[in-house]
Amino acid sequence: MQVTQSAAGTELTYERRGDGQPLILLHGGMAPREYWSAVVPHFDDFGVVLPQRPGFGTCLDDPETTSAAEVLDRETTDVQTLVDAVDGDPILFGHSFGALTALETATDAAVEAVLVYEPAILPDGFREQADLADRMEKLIADGRRREAVKRYVETVLHPDGIDDLDAWLAAWPVWPDCVDLAEEVVRMNRAVERYELPARLDVDAPVLVMSGTDGPDFLRKSARDVHEALPHSRFVEFDGVSHSGPGEAPARISAEVTAFRDG
């Protein structure tokens, strides 16, 4: 495990696997960096960088007073620090909230390319009615942390319903960690609910925007909106794949990434 420090004094820990071009993997809001375990073996020609986002399995200096407005700024500052810490211009690969962070970081950071899977961006009509953060916060205040995070899973991962959600959660290896991070997920959701996609994303690097046909409709629309807001991007949709694409279909995702890089 390696350690670096951001300009704000935040200590960042990350694991580096391999000696190839740096590929920084940015996990989303419902899992620690172990989320990438399924896809990492498919990237053995890269120097994979696996950071642990502060607050997600580590500690924030003052988690109770970290506002929603500060969350995204903190995340992009941390990723910029990682970009500066590795040799050469890396590739950023973000999933969900990590994808939003990758895009925002790439507006200033020197990166070779950006790979995003269903960025956590809400279409205008959906965003104006979004209240997931409020609903989760109320459940946490009532001592129902598990139910609060379950609402997130129902809204984002399984918006069309699932036969036995409790059984699915019980079999999900990262579920206990997700419950422990309930407050951080609320802060992340507030940041997402307040984020407005600009008409143009000023990212000079080429971007691969990915989505799955079984993902939430609002995130599938946002993925296309992101593609249209970028000056240099390619859009790919995977048939039969959900919002958990990188973990669910790692071979298909990595093959598309390789083709994008080599093309």
Q: Is the pLDDT score of 19 beyond 90?
A: no
Q: Is the pLDDT score of 1 beyond 90?
A: no
Measured from the Cβ of residue 74, the count of other Cβ atoms closer than 10 Å reads 22
CATH topology of domain 2-123+199-262: Rossmann fold (3.40.50)
Q: Where are the domains of the chain?
A: 2-123+199-262
Q: Is the pLDDT score of 7 beyond 80?
A: no
What's the pLDDT band for 182 if we cut at 50, 70, 90? confident
Q: pLDDT digits over 101-122, tens only?
A: 999 999 999 999 999 999 999 9
What's the pLDDT band for 140 if we cut at 50, 70, 90? very high
**What is the C-alpha separation between 168 and 164, in angstroms, rounded?**
6
Which has more confidence, 68 or 223? Answer: 223
Q: Scan for tokens 């580096």, then name that residue.
A: 16
- pLDDT at 30 (0 to 100): 65
**Nearest in space to 155 (alpha carbons), one of 125, 179, 182, 133:** 133
Q: Is 103 exposed, middle or buried (0-12, 13-18, 19+ CB in 10 A)?
A: buried
Report, as an integer, the average pLDDT of 43-51: 92
Contacts of 102 by beta carbon, 8 Å cutoff, 6+ apart: 26, 79, 92, 93, 94, 114, 115, 116
**What is the C-alpha separation between 66 and 224, in angstroms, rounded?**
31
Estimate to the nearest angstrom the gap between the alpha carbon of 257 and the chain centroid: 16
What's the pLDDT band for 190 if we cut at 50, 70, 90? confident
Q: Is the pLDDT score of 248 beyond 80?
A: yes
